[in-house]
Amino acid sequence: MSLNARLIKESFALVEPVAGRASAYFYGLLFAHRPSLRGMFPPDMAAPRGRLFDVLRRVVRELDSPEGLTSYLAGLGRDQRRYGFSPEHHTAAGAALLATMRRFAARIWTEETEAAWSEAYAMASRIMIDAAAAETTPPWWLAEVTGHEARCRDIAVLTLRPSQRMDFVPGQHVPVQTARWPRVWRRFSIANAPRADGTLRLHVRAVPGGWVSSALVRHTRPGDQLLLGPPAGTMAPPESDRDLLCVAGGTGLAPIKAVMEHVIASGRRPNIHLLFGVRHAGDLYDMPDLTRLAAGFPWLRVLPVVSDDPAYQGLRGRLPDVVDAFPSWTGHEVYVCGPPPMVDATVRRLRRSGVPLARIHRDADPERDRDRSDPTETAGTPDRFLAGFESKT
């Protein structure tokens, strides 16, 4: 490990246990020196504060693997374009970060530590700024809601038409902002393979008290405009011709459906088993569509699984147990998406039964069920956009 990396890790280890106070201090300083930046963040700063340390933790952890770190930082830089972050903002954030580390790691802070952080920040911000400058896709897309179907108590399927072409890989997700909650972004998986008319579908569950999900499910109508950020995520369709096992919990069905649609459209003919798990039979929100998909592709078997409804006549149980009850999936390519505990338990069972990790594709984001993402995740949108943001919400 280089001296610089060691100094950064040692000082960060002192600050991490007081991350809450340190991030409050960071944003306090940032806004005190650059009050105009406050307008780029949402009213509730809990998420950006939490996310600041998520990012720092990841960067510090990856200091010794420059390749992974560079690609992570480049992704952050590209994503930050949707907030209108400029090189100037990076300078202000760097000064606030250094002051924060200096204060909370004062016990061991030296000139060398200061130089190590300063150099690392300069390197990181350069990668982010360059990646943002090199990106040619739009920083955000306006999208019109062209369809809004309430599928069950708390789930709606939205169809969106972006104003410009948006390329994405089946399995990816997009950040979404509604006019009801300016500057608040949440991610939702794209639930279809790319279509000729460019439309996207989202499967949204309104979580109790949820800002964005409730706005999308209960207060959004056709004709409304949403704002979408660049698609992201590493889940992608298989390159092999192996049979597929797809395990979807609730709206975890969305990215899996996109992958299945892509495989079906590719002309390949693998057998696909879809285990679609929900708590109550009434939550099987996409059965008519799935049945239609299976009717046109006889190699697809859709198996709804219900966990908390003793009266349900079909497959009952928790998804990890049901997956385990089948003879063997070792020859399959596997896709798993849903609440993290369900995904973790399913992956553990599959691994134990001999499915190689390389063949298990999961939505790698541990925050899927509780989206608290990058500072950027809830940071603002350029005013020039907000000024023109029309919605009927």
Ligand X SMILES: Cc1cc2nc3c(=O)[nH]c(=O)nc-3n(C[C@H](O)[C@H](O)[C@H](O)COP(=O)(O)OP(=O)(O)OC[C@H]3O[C@@H](n4cnc5c(N)ncnc54)[C@H](O)[C@@H]3O)c2cc1C
Residues numbered 211-270 forming contacts with ligand X, rule: CB under 6 A:
211-214, 251, 254
Q: Could you tell me the end-to-end alpha-carbon distance of the chain, in angstroms, rounded to an integer? A: 53
Number of Cβ atoms within 10 Å of the Cβ of 296: 8
From the CB of 178, what's the least distance to ligand X, in Å?
A: 9
Write the DSSP symbol of residue 190.
B
Q: Which residue from 67, 107, 136, 209 is in contact with ligand X, where contact means CB under 6 A?
A: 209
Q: In 3-state terms, what secondary structure has residue 33?
A: helix
From the CB of 386, what's the least distance to ligand X, in Å?
A: 18
Binding piece for ligand X, criterion CB under 6 A, among 13-21, 110-118, 162-170, 363-371: 363-371
Written as one string, the DSSP assignment of 200-251 is: EEEEEE--TT-HHHHHHHHS--TT-EEEE---B-S----SS---EEEEEEGG
From residue 366 to residue 385, the character string flagging contacts with ligand X as x (rule: CB under 6 A) and all else as - is: -xxxxx--------------
From the CB of 378, what's the least distance to ligand X, in Å?
A: 9
Q: Which residue from 280, 365, 389, 393 is in contact with ligand X, where contact means CB under 6 A?
A: 365
Q: Which residue from 11, 100, 178, 189 is in contact with ligand X, where contact means CB under 6 A?
A: 189
Number of Cβ atoms within 10 Å of the Cβ of 327: 6
Q: Residue 181 to residues 58, 202, 271, 350, 392: CA-CA distances in angstroms?
A: 28, 18, 43, 40, 13
Check: CB of residue 202 under 8 Å from CB of residue 191: yes
Q: Which residue from 72, 83, 188, 276 is in contact with ligand X, where contact means CB under 6 A?
A: 188
Residues numbered 165-184 forming contacts with ligand X, rule: CB under 6 A:
173
Beta-strand relationship, 173-177 and 272-278: unpaired
Q: Which is nearer to ligand X, 324 or 367 (CB)?
A: 367
Instruction: Decide: is 312 part of the binding site for ligand X (CB under 6 A).
Output: no
Binding piece for ligand X, criterion CB under 6 A, among 20-28, 57-65, 77-85, 197-205: 197-205
| Phi and psi at residue 138, to the nearest 5° | -65, 150
Binding piece for ligand X, criterion CB under 6 A, among 131-139, 140-148, 218-226, 360-368: 360-368
Closest CA to 233 of 181, 171, 190: 171
Instruction: Decide: is 273 part of the binding site for ligand X (CB under 6 A).
Output: no
In the complex, which residues of this chain contact ligand X (CB under 6 A)?
173, 186-189, 203-205, 207, 209-214, 251, 254, 363, 365, 367-371
